[in-house]
């Protein structure tokens, strides 16, 4: 399967999409998700912080419109104090407070109370996680406990490293407009059916320098920098919500596998439609799209950034 890092403007629309952020932006609403992933516990079924009758607890994801969302928290930086924030619940307007360096439950408070929210660099996880503490000198962080209770406990559960219930991800509900804004800041673009030309790269770190090209009637890859016009592609609207991938040099199209697995894609003169939608697993750390073979049930994933030479769109792929 292939993974393209592109976006298709005329494909499935992107409404609010949850993405764990790498930096906290003051004045932004976030959902706050526990890092507890122990198989014997239910934390990932009910991972999100909420204000429940004045007590900090966790719940299953429950997106509610307007001001009724008790899982949304407004994060504002404290002026002149690095990593200190006020964290206010959207529904109740109450604030998080720090722990008492013990395992007691934590209540929300009416006063705009500062909490210390540093990044935790010892989780060993590719995503960004934070601790929520009273101050930089505090011992305990917020920690997911059994029965959806949040209490104080040591970061990394007191170990030298590891992702635990004491670590928290800040998750933002990205709208389509916000995704476009972030893509622009990254120098990336959404793919569009039409006359734009793309190069398609492998998304994985192992093969990130390989670009797709047509080779002897087959879909292959070649190292970036190799001079061949067979590495350029256009996306052709099929009029039914699907997109065909056409090689710019040969005019050939990527063919459907027709349900066959573990075989190489072929090229041919018949256009086959692929459906393109955002890959939400990759969305947690970047931008990528699934390109699903509508004839076979297989899929590709994609993400793109602007290839500045000659204004090509540089699109990276990943093998799934």
Report if residue 55 sits inside a domain. Answer: yes
Report if residue 179 sits inside a domain. Answer: no
C-alpha Rg value of the chain to the nearest Å: 23
- Run of H or E residues at 313: strand 312-318
Q: Is the same domain home to 36 and 97?
A: yes
Report if residue 181 sits inside a domain. Answer: no
- Average pLDDT by consecutive 10-residue portion of the chain (320 residues)? 36 58 96 87 89 95 85 98 98 95 90 98 94 96 89 94 96 88 73 83 66 90 86 92 93 88 88 79 66 62 34 34
**pLDDT for the residue 302:** 43
Q: Is the same domain home to 195 and 162?
A: no
Closest alpha carbon to 58 in 174, 165, 172: 165
Report the predicted TM-score, pTM, of the whole model to 2 decimal places.
Answer: 0.69
Report if residue 79 sits inside a domain. Answer: yes
**pLDDT for the residue 250:** 97
Which of these three, 174, 202, 224, is where a domain ends? 174
Contacts of 98 (CB under 8 A, 6+ apart): 113, 115, 116, 132, 133, 134, 135, 138
Which of these three, 174, 202, 235, is where a domain ends? 174
Q: Is the same domain home to 125 and 196?
A: no
Q: Is the same domain home to 102 and 243?
A: no
**pLDDT for the residue 252:** 98
Which of these three, 144, 174, 204, is where a domain ends? 174
**pLDDT for the residue 4:** 43
Tokens for 286, please give them.
Answer: 């970047």
Alpha-carbon distance of 159 to 150, in angstroms, equals 19
**pLDDT for the residue 294:** 73
Report if residue 180 sits inside a domain. Answer: no
Neighbours of 227 (CB within 10 A): 6
**pLDDT for the residue 5:** 42
**pLDDT for the residue 180:** 84
Q: Is the same domain home to 23 and 166?
A: yes
Dihedral sign (CA 139, 32, 3, 248): negative
**pLDDT for the residue 224:** 82
**CATH number assigned to the domain comprising residue 166:** 2.80.10.50
φ, ψ of residue 179 in degrees (nearest 5): -65, -45
Range of the domain at 160: 17-174
Residues 297/256, Cβ–Cβ less than 8 Å: no
Q: Is the same domain home to 261 and 130?
A: no
Q: Is the same domain home to 165 and 232?
A: no
Residue with tokens 């050939």: 252
Number of domains in the chain: 2
Alpha-carbon distance of 86 to 127, in angstroms, equals 23
């Amino acid at each position: 399967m292939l993974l393209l890092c592109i976006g298709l403007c005329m494909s499935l629309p992107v409404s609010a999409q949850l993405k764990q952020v790498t930096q906290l932006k003051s004045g932004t609403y976030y959902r706050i998700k526990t890092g507890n992933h122990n198989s014997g516990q239910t934390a990932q079924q009910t991972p999100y912080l909420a204000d429940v009758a004045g007590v900090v607890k966790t719940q299953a994801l429950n997106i509610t419109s307007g001001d009724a969302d008790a899982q949304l928290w407004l994060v504002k930086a404290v002026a002149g104090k690095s990593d200190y924030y006020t964290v206010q619940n959207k529904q109740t307007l109450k604030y998080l407070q720090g722990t008492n360096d013990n395992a007691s439950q934590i209540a929300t408070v009416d006063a705009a109370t500062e909490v210390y929210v540093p990044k935790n660099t010892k989780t060993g996880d590719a995503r960004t996680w934070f601790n929520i503490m009273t101050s930089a000198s505090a011992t305990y962080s917020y920690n997911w406990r059994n029965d959806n209770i949040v209490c104080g406990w040591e970061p990394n559960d007191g170990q030298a490293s590891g992702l635990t219930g004491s670590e928290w991800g800040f998750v933002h509900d990205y709208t389509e407009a916000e995704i476009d804004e972030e893509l622009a800041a990254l120098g990336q673009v959404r793919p569009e059916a039409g006359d734009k030309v793309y190069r398609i790269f492998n998304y994985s770190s192992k093969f990130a320098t390989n670009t797709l090209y047509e080779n002897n009637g087959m879909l292959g890859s070649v190292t970036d920098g190799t001079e061949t016009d067979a590495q350029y592609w256009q996306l052709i609207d099929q009029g039914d919500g699907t997109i065909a991938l056409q090689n710019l040099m040969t005019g050939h199209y990527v063919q459907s596998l027709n349900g066959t697995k573990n075989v190489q894609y072929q090229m041919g003169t018949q256009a086959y439609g692929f459906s393109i939608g955002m890959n939400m697993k990759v969305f947690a750390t970047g931008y990528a799209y699934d390109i699903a073979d509508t004839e076979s049930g297989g899929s590709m994933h994609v993400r793109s950034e602007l290839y500045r030479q000659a204004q090509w769109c540089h699109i990276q792929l990943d093998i799934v």
